[in-house]
Amino acid sequence: MESSSQIAQRLFSRTTHGIKLGLQRMQAAAERLGNPQNEYKSIHVAGTNGKGSVCAYLESCLRHRGCATGLFTSPHIVDFEERFIIGGRPVPPEKWVEVFHDAEPLINELGLTFFEAATLIAFELFKRENVEWAVFETGLGGRLDATNILMPEVSVITKVALDHTDLLGGDLASIAREKLGIVKNGVPLVMAEPAEPDIKKIALDCCSHDGSKCRFVSRSMAQETGDTEGLSWLLHHNQKFQVPLAGRYQVENALLAIKALAAAGITDDASVAEGIRKTKLPGRFQKMTIKDKTVVFDVGHNPDAAKSFAETLTAQFLDTAVCLVTGIMKDKNAAGMFEQYCKKVSRIILTRPDVDRSADTAQLRRAIPSWFTGEVAEVRNVNDAVNRALDCREKVVCIAGSFYTVGEAMKALGLKPY
């Protein structure tokens, strides 16, 4: 009998089908299953950076109101089950395996890609588990993403930046249009306020066309903000919200979640504040103590995320030397990421996760800015790179640059994200 990990590998093999943007297969598959995604209320989240954090805040707030919740995000860090969070915990493997076995003939018949199959499993799994509210994160873009057959209570778009330019377009306007493709007729949109007036106009035009209310969210909406021991807080409607995820940008993410819940009719600030305070999210500036060192895991994988990561590093470890272990995918802007990382780190250990998409270490070395004067080493695999870092003199070790790098590092250290 196949184990859940073997079945997951069989699912992953469907990545050889490539990325097939389009909704026809998902619509057909969901209809054949009786449209399980319509059996519960949902919130749909797109954006370039901050999606995972906003989804985590939303799920935590809904759960702490007493709702039965589901959360679908991607990719996972260590275990496939992390994609399907029910009641705040990854679903037991046998639960999703049962759904997969039931849906496999349909998945094969319609030729679903890996992500389409995973999305279909989430739709049906949440129905079977009697979820009342589900939060769905888009996989790529929005307009043609497999999750976009949802009819949510509210649509959310986090900060938009350049990423996946080969698929979504080479400029911010093109990428914004793809993200805005999740807007549905009459469904309110809550969006991180763009700094660029043209992007803001595109959003307003899109919502006007679809008869949707558009609410922009910015840090200025808070009456007051502050930081205490590296963690942020905000005052809104005279209610203090403690933000447990590290980084000043988390104030905006928390506000997005608060406003999205309000758009969905949930305006009990006290219970929302409790949900925000108790939010947990692995791999986002996640700190652990290992061998007397502070080890920070961060899955951010584009220059904008690297900038936020470096700023948080500087704020929390101002006068402390930092060693960075990083492996980056070859389709990412490694030079833009290193431009940010190198503002804080003193040593870089380059490595390569065991996936075809990862850049080789020589390619990464060429992406490091010429002005960086720290030590640079190339280590063939993530396990050895992590061990090298733990033996270095720096008291802070960061493992960053990709979900794959963080996942392999956690496996090597025997850690579970949740």
Q: What is the pLDDT of residues 24-39, one digit of tens each?
A: 999 999 999 999 999 9
* pLDDT at res. 297: 96
Based on the fold, state whether residues 196 and 266 are members of the same structural domain.
Answer: yes
Based on the fold, state whether residues 166 and 296 are members of the same structural domain.
Answer: no
Q: Is residue 417 part of a domain?
A: no
Q: For residues 317 and 321, give the distance between their C-alpha atoms in angstroms, rounded to a whole number.
A: 8
How would you classify the pairing of strands 322-326 and 396-400?
A: parallel
Q: Is residue 256 part of a domain?
A: yes
- Asked whether the bond before 75 is cis by omega within 30 degrees of 0, the reply is yes
Based on the fold, state whether residues 319 and 399 are members of the same structural domain.
Answer: yes
Print the domain residue range for 234. Answer: 4-277
240: domain CATH number is 3.40.1190.10
Boundary-marking domain end, from 229, 251, 277: 277
Note the pTM of the prediction, 2 decimals.
0.92
- Residues 350 and 374: beta-carbon distance below 8 Å: no
* pLDDT at res. 97: 94
Q: Residues of the chain whose pLDDT is less than 70?
A: 1, 15-21, 162-170, 229-230
Based on the fold, state whether residues 270 and 404 are members of the same structural domain.
Answer: no
What does the CA dihedral 294, 246, 78, 272 come to, rounded to 10 degrees? 140
Based on the fold, state whether residues 261 and 300 are members of the same structural domain.
Answer: no
Q: Is residue 307 part of a domain?
A: yes
Boundary-marking domain end, from 222, 257, 277: 277
Based on the fold, state whether residues 213 and 290 are members of the same structural domain.
Answer: no
- Nearest Cα neighbor of 326 from 296, 370, 304, 369 is 296
E strands in 34-91: 41-46, 69-72, 84-86, 89-90
Q: Is residue 105 part of a domain?
A: yes
* pLDDT at res. 171: 82
Strand order in the sheet with 231-236: 224-228, 231-236, 239-243
Based on the fold, state whether residues 244 and 307 are members of the same structural domain.
Answer: no
* 3: number of Cβ within 10 Å: 10
* pLDDT at res. 196: 87
Q: Is residue 418 part of a domain?
A: no
Partners of 274 in the β-ladder: none
Based on the fold, state whether residues 272 and 348 are members of the same structural domain.
Answer: no
How many structural domains is the chain composed of? 2
Based on the fold, state whether residues 134 and 160 are members of the same structural domain.
Answer: yes
Based on the fold, state whether residues 235 and 374 are members of the same structural domain.
Answer: no
Q: What is the pLDDT of residues 226-264, one digit of tens each?
A: 887 667 899 999 999 999 998 878 999 999 999 999 999
Based on the fold, state whether residues 250 and 349 are members of the same structural domain.
Answer: no
Question: What tokens were used for 259?
Answer: 């406003």
Based on the fold, state whether residues 260 and 306 are members of the same structural domain.
Answer: no
312: domain CATH number is 3.90.190.20
